Structure 1
Amino acid sequence: MPEGDTVWQTAQRLHTALAGQTLTRSDLRVPRFATADLTGRTVLDVTPRGKHLLTRIEGGLTLHSHLRMDGSWQVYGSGERWRGGPAHQIRAILGNAANTAVGYRLPVLELLRTKDEEKVVGHLGPDLLGPDWDPDIALANLLADPSRPLGEALLDQRNLAGIGNVYKSELAFLARVTPWLPVGELPEGTPKRLVVTAQRLLEANKSSFDRRTTATERGTSGGPPVVGRRPGPRLHVYGREGMRCLRCGTPIRRADQGESGRERTTFWCPGCQAGPTG
């Protein structure tokens, strides 16, 4: 599932291509909204909310989409060949005279009244990249269930919106605890630092449009995370199963975490991170 910074980037691309322009093409390829015609309406803005995308359209309408694991929005210029996937994977097309936005494999796509947006995003906690970001509320949400494993608490979008599997694993590494350690057992001061670091990492990486440059590096001296563009390895543990930890040399491990049927892949260093493991 894309991280919050990836969704933010997608929203920026869509906003640049569509906002302020009149739709000359509209095709929603889901049964419930297949007959909806948005042509002739102006796109007002495209706003990210956590991992949700809200495309607001003239007339009090919002096209709500969520990428989940495999979905994507691609933007093509006039006459440009579409390369996002086969035609049967297209779920939405929004076009104007200059650009066409194509939504592929979108598991969530619905048209609703703008005034009803809270029905689909009102449950979310503070958005790490949004104007509603409030670290104190996010911290209180995380600490509300002390027995919950850290990894599960970080992924719960009701606590704070925008963290995915990558940042979950990396944040636990930076805190030197495993993702299975109960939130209530975190060392004093660690929960607050996790919240601040999470927002800082997503904020620093949101403008990196090459996903290979996402960075959460940290010096072996224990200094603050390094973010932004720099050569070398970009992540400490995520996707590095079997490779040696950049801090202590212990091979990185991988396991599933979460309730049955909703497990998420987790990476950690058994040498650097204290606590229970999966």
Structure 2
Amino acid sequence: MPEGDTVFATAARLRAALDGRRLEWTQFRVPSLATVDLTGRTVGSVRSVGKHLLIDVGGPDDDQPDAGGASVHSHLKMEGAWHVHPIGTRWRRPGYQARIVLRTATHEAVGFDLGILELTDSPDADLAYLGPDLLAEDWEPTEAIGRIEARPDEPIGLALLDQRLVAGIGNVYRSEICFLRKVLPTRPVRDVDVPGVVDLSRRLLWANRLRTARTTTGQSAPNARMWVYGRRGQLCRRCGSPIERDQLGSIGEDRVIYFCPHCQT
């Protein structure tokens, strides 16, 4: 499931293939951007902001000096992915799922089933509503702690998922963080050690930001990577009680929570 660490790693792969390189051919496969052509422009940077990914592209060549730069803004949502292929390599997902193709002289980056895809000339202003990015190089926890503590009556499980308070946590980390801090996701923020929760959130995402397979237990085996997420009915790794699953917030799979009813209070 794409969360802040997944988007950070995706940006790193795209940066290696695109950063500083001239786009030899581009194609947007969404109606609103069907006529956009970034051919001839140079990628200035690729960066992640929480769960959002930005590809900053400079202005066109000197024969069109009046046009400025822009940013390709994407969000993976549930099904999206960016793949990087050497030119001539077969895509790993079907072509009908492709939403954008950015091609350099040696590689092409293809965005598949992106939940959000848009072109903007004000990316930082567009994302100013987000809380502090847990994976920012200049991370400092004070603002994130303050934003969460300003919601004393809100369940901690909902506060962690609110990208306006802190950016990067999704459903997997929400469940795992609450388990490791021994709190039920329904516990109100006022009864939670928020600095401890924020510190753990940063450490977990940072440790996983470039891993191929996410783990919160420190184990790499596929059936040993998570404490509670996706483990309904299986035994808690700490106390042996069956892990439970429930809903928190809006009905839908994106609001599913996993927890140990014995270890978490």
| Structure 2 equivalent of residue 34 of structure 1 | 34
Q: Aligned ranges for residues 191-270 of structure 1 at < 5 Å?
A: 191-209=194-212, 211=213, 214-217=214-217, 227=218, 230=220, 233-260=224-251, 264-270=255-261
User: How far is 1:230 from its partner?
Assistant: 4.9
Residue in structure 1 matching 2:74, options 42, 46, 65: 65
Q: Detail structure 1 runs of 4+ shifted over 6 Å in the superposition.
A: none
Identity %: 47
1:76 aligns with 2:85: yes
Alpha-carbon distance in structure 2 between the residues aligned to 1:168 and 1:185:
17
Report the secondary structure of 2:8's partner residue: helix
Q: Aligned ranges for residues 141-220 of structure 1 at < 5 Å?
A: 141-186=147-192, 190-209=193-212, 211=213, 214-217=214-217
User: How far is 1:134 from its partner?
Assistant: 2.1
TM-score, normalization by structure 1:
0.88
Report the secondary structure of 2:261's partner residue: coil
Alpha-carbon distance in structure 1 between the residues aligned to 2:129 and 2:76:
18
| Structure 1 equivalent of residue 95 of structure 2 | 87
| Structure 1 equivalent of residue 52 of structure 2 | 52
| Structure 2 equivalent of residue 224 of structure 1 | none
| Structure 1 equivalent of residue 108 of structure 2 | 100
Alpha-carbon distance in structure 2 between the residues aligned to 1:110 and 1:12:
20
5+ residue gaps, structure 2, are 60-68
Alpha-carbon distance in structure 1 between the residues aligned to 2:253 and 2:191:
24
Deviations 1:147-173 (A, max 9, x none): 101111000011111111111000100
Aligned residue pairs total 255
Q: Is the 8 A contact 1:257 1:263 kept in 2?
A: no
| Structure 1 equivalent of residue 64 of structure 2 | none
- What RMSD in Å do the two structures reach over aligned CA positions? 1.5
Deviations 1:253-274 (A, max 9, x none): 1112113468511100011111
Alpha-carbon distance in structure 2 between the residues aligned to 1:262 and 1:208:
25
User: How far is 1:87 from its partner?
Assistant: 1.7
Deviations 1:33-71 (A, max 9, x none): 110110011111110000000100012210000001111
Alpha-carbon distance in structure 1 between the residues aligned to 2:51 and 2:263:
30
* Equivalent residue letter for 2:257: T
Alpha-carbon distance in structure 2 between the residues aligned to 1:154 and 1:7:
17
5+ residue gaps, structure 1, are 218-226
Q: Is the 8 A contact 1:126 1:132 kept in 2?
A: no
